[in-house]
Amino acid sequence: MAETTMHGLTDANRTRDAMNFVTVNGTLLHYELAGDPRASTMVFSNSLGTDLRVWTPVLPFLPDGLCFLRYDKRGHGLSGMPEGPCTIEDHARDLAGLLDHLEIRQAIVCGLSVGGLIAQGLVALRPDLVRALILCGTAARIGTAESWNERMETIRQGGIAALADQILERWFTAAFRRERADELAGWRNMLVRSPREGNLATCAAIRDADFREADRRIAVPTQCICGTEDGSTPPDLVRELAGLIPGAAFDLIEEAGHIACVEQPERFAAVVTRFVEENGLA
């Protein structure tokens, strides 16, 4: 029998991705853990309409010596979706429960879009779990109540497919959409196949989230990142977020839209690597 190590991983699989499930905060979460869990852990929280695979392109370019935890937030991927509405605080409690389950403390939390809101919620709720923040294509407040209510009504009437082309235009640059058609089709499949109720519940959570005051109290190293052609959270909005957080850094990823970790993974990883090294996080 293989020797069991911390977090239930064996010596044989400790450095490989493993598909795992756990119920925390009343929610079934799907997660994958890669690397030695005794090392510093970088946690990834994905965007609306995607699952943990959104981070796959960037992983090969990130520093050695880190453990990587990816998970599907509630209502996305293989995770469950409890009945009723939810808030960003509920998402943050889900992530806190997962980190507690894995006995992970002082994680580097990297969140994209709504994942960035979840990261902001986590550091407000459980600062003991957060060593540093990487906030990508996100803001302290995203959109307006009116814009989110309109989006939700369109989804109720016509499904996510009714908005897919508009969303993909914000996710990726014109060059990506023109030159990488097969990849674009794959990401469209991920978007339109994401659970409708999970998407609606997360839209409402984003609509109601506002961290403009809480962010002024963040006391961990923070890196904000935005694609130069981000159509969902434009650079000025992400720059504004960086201005709220004491000491936060801000970097632009050239030739990238909202999902910069997919479109320009090497450039994205270079910013993350520099942040990790400058702050002694590995």
- 3-state SS of 9-61 is CECCCCCCCCEEEEEECCEEEEEEEECCCCCEEEEEECCCCCCHHHHHHHHHH
Task: Provide the whole-model pTM.
Answer: 0.94
Q: Whole-angstrom Cα distance, residue 59 to residue 52?
A: 11
pLDDT at site 256: 98
Successive 10-residue mean pLDDT values, the chain, 282 residues: 32 53 97 87 98 97 94 97 93 98 96 98 98 98 98 97 98 98 98 96 98 98 98 98 98 98 98 97 91
Q: Side chain identity at 97, as an amino acid letter?
A: G
pLDDT at site 36: 77
pLDDT at site 2: 29
Which three-class secondary structure state does DSSP give residue 224? strand
Q: Whole-angstrom Cα distance, residue 178 to residue 181?
A: 6
pLDDT at site 3: 28
pLDDT at site 84: 82
pLDDT at site 17: 54
